[in-house]
Amino acid sequence: MKKIYPNVIIGKNTFIEDFVIFGKPPRNKKPGELKTIIGDNGIIRNFTVIYAGNKIGNNFQTGDFVTIRELNEIGDNVSIGTKSDIQHHIVIEDNVRIHSLAFIPEHSILKSGCWIGPKVCFTNAPFPNSPKTKKYLKGPIIEENAKIGANVIVLPKIIIGKNSLVGAGSVVTKNVPENKVVCGNPAKVIKDISELKFKNGEKAYLLNGRMKL
């Protein structure tokens, strides 16, 4: 059982589980008014809702109960975990992993290869519920290969630099430089990403910030 609205294009070999909704019209839009595109080889799991106007690349995966609002640009090889909430007008580039229960608000940018841990919460309103809140919304920018640990809160307009790592439970109130490790409330730089090692002395990350296999 699934519902597919008009003007939805679903690519080849995309596996769709039960109770999925594709192309749901946002407020003030008619069914089919906005084109929705999902690429090849996707896996869309139970109770996922994808609103109209999304452009999603190949090899896209969702967990159960994922919500993706309208008018987002999502690249190839993107995975969004169970019960995550992706709002509208967001850019998610290739090879991004968003774990379960994450909240990504409108006007956020997630660049290629970044990794978002479970229960991460981004924010986009400098002054919530102000009469002019909508005018000044701007989500964080997560640069290439940055990694954000579980339960992190990131304030509006923050830039998380390339290859950086934000420790679990941190509250990020200032921009994070490239290749740095930050943690705490407020999050502060504690070391360079190149200093992180396993107990046997093997480096945790390569120069480009990706996990050493």
Name the H helices within 99-168: none
pLDDT score, position 213: 28
**Distance, CA of 7 to CA of 31 (rounded, Å):** 8
**Distance, CA of 177 to CA of 79 (rounded, Å):** 26
HSE at residue 158, side-chain half, CA atoms within 13 A, is 27
Q: What is the pTM of this model?
A: 0.94
- Tell whether 43 is covered by a domain: yes
- Tell whether 204 is covered by a domain: no
- Tell whether 201 is covered by a domain: no
**Distance, CA of 152 to CA of 72 (rounded, Å):** 23
- Tell whether 59 is covered by a domain: yes
Q: Note down pLDDT in tens along the chain; length 213 residues.
A: 899 999 999 999 999 999 999 999 999 999 999 999 999 999 999 999 999 999 999 999 999 999 999 999 999 999 999 999 999 999 999 999 999 999 999 999 999 999 999 999 999 999 999 999 999 999 999 999 999 999 999 999 999 999 999 999 999 999 999 999 999 999 999 999 999 999 999 999 976 544 432
- Tell whether 207 is covered by a domain: no
Residue with tokens 């090899």, as numbered in its chain: 59
Domain hosting 137: range is 2-195
- Domains held by the chain: number: 1
CATH of the domain at 6: 2.160.10.10
- Tell whether 167 is covered by a domain: yes
What count of residues does the chain have?
Answer: 213
- Tell whether 212 is covered by a domain: no
- Provide the b/e sequence for 29-41 (b: ≥16 CB within 10 Å): eeeeebebbbbeb
